[in-house]
Chains A and B, each alone.
Chain A
Amino acid sequence: MIVRARNVDFYYGAFRALTDVTLDFEKRRVTALIGPSGCGKSTLLRLLNRMNDLIDGTRVEGEILFEGRNIYAPEVDPVEIRQRIGMVFQKPNPFPKSIFDNITFAPKLSGIRDRGEIETLVEGSLRQAVLWDEVKDILGKSAMNLSGGQQQRLCIARALAMKPDVLLMDEPTSALDPISTAKIEELIDSLKKRYTIIIVTHNMQQAARVSEYTGFFYLGKLIEFNATEKIFTNPAMKQTEDYITGRFG
């Protein structure tokens, strides 16, 4: 267990977005969070690297333990947490800089200046994200010229360059075409050997294809959490079954 949520409640102002969520994420496994829009799955994901800190008027109760330490404890620096837990967003969001500078953003922040080391890191990250062959000759070009799918793989490479332990993915393929989606899914499959991946998805086939564990959320509550195979073939809860068979949501 690398990340554990313990009785987490979360509020946007007076609105309670998550109620008593307790959930463990296993190391080097892919865990999918599914559920209808507004069920709190993205909120939970953004709690895991303290991205919700950036929204005014939010409040967390309960504990989120990363390697046994509560990341919401007062002495914890959110910046340090975000360096260990990378994130990929719904909409590809490369910086309007060159491909090279996108990858080196995080390493440079952490003080890596050596040219050779940086170049190795850029190539390594792009290879891991299966983008190297497509961009190795245009590293100096703006990332904005890439296609949506390439941009998303660049964002994954950019997060990997930080050498995180956990990778959070917030509907990473919802803005992409089927071919790009297939590439990202293959990529997730190859990355799980080295990283813990937590993915929020609207696409149930995707959850079934890429994940080992699945959590189903509804109205801010974790309804069911189990091995993906179990959830999709023999769910314990009626609501889960209704959702995965398309009766609501």
Chain B
Amino acid sequence: MTSKAREIIIKNLFALLAFISVLLLGLIVLFLFREGLPIFKQISMAQFLFGSAWYPTYDPPEYGIWSLIVGSVIVTVLSCLIAVPFGLLSAIYISEIAPAGIKEILKSVIELLAGLPSVVLGFFGMVILAPWMQETFDLPTGLNIVNASLMLAVMAIPTISSISEDALYAVSRDFKEASYALGATKYETIVKVVIPAALSGISTAVILGMSRAIGETMVVLMVAGGSAAIPRGIFDSVRPMPASIAAEMGEAAFGSGHYHALFATGIVLFIITLAFNLIADHISNRFKEEGSGTL
């Protein structure tokens, strides 16, 4: 075989594999929409999105997912409020401050944290954290927003920390030297030069952490409590969208309104995570021409 023929075969093989992966994903999205959209023959989109009653098995059934959306948003936002400071500050410490030995240890521990199966975290939240919270704060249940947010934060911290750390690490040494040579201290260099130059990467990290948290199923299924009602406080139970889909899909009759409503919930979730990823992409591209450190 000539080297030219080999080049052509390799090129087409790679193109084919790439095409198949994209096609498979495309078909899944198509399937999601095909199974989800029929619900809108029964109720309007506004009723579906903003209806606050989720009684899919009643007669007549009600398919309002507002409480599920609220549940998802609240645990995501709360988990980010916890995970962003921890993730970001640990990234800054690892990349800029820690001595070499500690740096390696911390990096591997955070990678280890990323490798924890979510079911293990859910189990921890259920068996250790929930009973403790229930007793300490005298709550009706320890399976609630705070518990779910804490567990989701533990999942999001490694994502935020490792991507931010890459972004900080990518900041050119030239900028740091320039800053020190102008009489800046280490702290001033980090705050005024390194973080601004890495900001696009850091924003990407935060948004990818959020999209990780909002799409996570097992943790919220196990520890969010599963109540499909709009919460009145942070110690109430909620039923985020992924938990609702996972819990109910096995029982919903094929082709029923409930079945279509769950797929439509999946569409909503898909659109939210897609939006997060697009925003992350946009932000990471934004400062590239300025020559700052990006991923």
Contact = CB atoms under 8 A, between A and B. Distances in A.
Most buried by B among A79, A86, A93, A96: A96
B183 interface: yes
A221 interface: no
Interface in A64-118: 79-80, 82-83, 86-87, 89, 91, 93-97, 105-106, 109-110
A110 B184 CA distance: 9
A144 interface: yes
Interface string B49-63: 000000000000000
B293 to A, nearest CB: 9
B181 to A, nearest CB: 4
A96 B184 contact: no
Contacts of A79: 183-185
B67 interface: no
B138 interface: no
Given A51-B177, A96-B291, A109 B183 contact: yes
A215 to B, nearest CB: 22
A135 to B, nearest CB: 17
Given A93-B174, A105-B192, A109-B188, A158 B182 contact: yes
B179 A105 contact: yes
Interface in A156-177: 158-159, 162
A131 B192 CA distance: 24
A211 interface: no
B270 interface: no
Chain B interface residue bracket vs A? 20 to 34
B290 interface: yes
Interface string B179-219: 11111110010001100110000000000000000000000
A162 B182 contact: yes
A54 interface: yes
Interface string B277-289: 0000000000101
A97 B177 CA distance: 16
Contacts of B31: none
B132 interface: no
A20 to B, nearest CB: 27
Given A49-B181, A96-B175, A109-B183, 6 more contacts: A79-B183, A82-B180, A82-B181, A82-B183, A83-B183, A93-B175
